[in-house]
Structure 1
Amino acid sequence: MGCAGSTPKTDDNGKKLKKPKPWKHTQAITLAQLRQMRDEFWDTAPHYGGQKEIWDALRAAADSDLALAQTIVDSAGIIVSNSDMTLCYDERGAKYELPKYVLSEPTNLIREG
């Protein structure tokens, strides 16, 4: 139990989340193509191991702003190894790797219309 003047620990499970660095896809893609890639990843992610609940929390965090994403990963007990969420672990040590395309948009995204 801390005293009234102590500083609360704000990050119990690893690093504070940061916005992913800009990245470029191998070729320019549309938002629809990016969404399809993301959907395919999230549909197959639980098959790589780990817990479905952690995958669900990671998806929610990836789709949120940084503040909400931080709250989600902290609440789910996710240990963030890379601050951009590309590498995370659960409390049991299971590894969760997220590709950059589920976390941010590429610099060569084609905006339709």
Structure 2
Amino acid sequence: MGCSQSSAAGSSGPLTGVVPKWKSDEPMTKDDLARKREEFWDTAPYYGGNEECWAALKSAVEAPSRSAANDILLAAAITVPSGVLTESYDRLGYKYEIPLYCLKEPSNMVS
């Protein structure tokens, strides 16, 4: 299975899209969001997929730039058909899903 993918003009790498805005059911603080993210990353590998791919995805999410994130994803052979990390695939075709709360703060964040 190849790793070629189409990308938007002027982009290079798997990440080409804009993470959509989202609103949490209940307003949350930065600490609440940090706990929720930590819980996700701690448990994600137990739902399937490759631990190394999960580690690469977490590194890509936490990368300081889109370019760095793309480098991580390319090195791990992870494809991102939508251009946004909510859904990605490893070289064997396993699907990885990352919730929006790991990618962006909610619109109703409180101090």
Q: What percent of counterpart residues are identical?
A: 39
Q: Does 2:66 correspond to 1:61?
A: no
Letter in 2 for 1:48: Y
Give me the whole-angstrom Cα distance separating, in 1, the residues matched to 2:90 and 2:6: 11
> Which runs of 4 or more aligned residues in structure 1 lie more than 3 Å from their structure 2 counterparts after TM superposition?
11-16
Report how far residue 12 of structure 1 moved.
Answer: 3.7
- Name the counterpart of 1:43: 42
Decide whether the 8 Å contact of 1:57 with 1:72 is kept in 2. Answer: yes
Q: Does 2:86 correspond to 1:82?
A: no
- SS of residue paired to 1:27: coil
Gaps of 5+ in 1: 1-10
Decide whether the 8 Å contact of 1:88 with 1:96 is kept in 2. Answer: yes
- Name the counterpart of 1:95: 95
- Name the counterpart of 1:109: 109
Gaps of 5+ in 2: 8-13
- Name the counterpart of 1:25: 24
Letter in 2 for 1:49: G
Aligned residues: 101
Decide whether the 8 Å contact of 2:5 with 2:81 is kept in 1. Answer: no
Scaled by the length of structure 2, what TM-score is found?
0.83
Give me the whole-angstrom Cα distance separating, in 2, the residues matched to 1:35 and 1:27: 15
Report how far residue 98 of structure 1 moved.
Answer: 0.5
Letter in 1 for 2:91: E
Report how far residue 83 of structure 1 moved.
Answer: 1.3
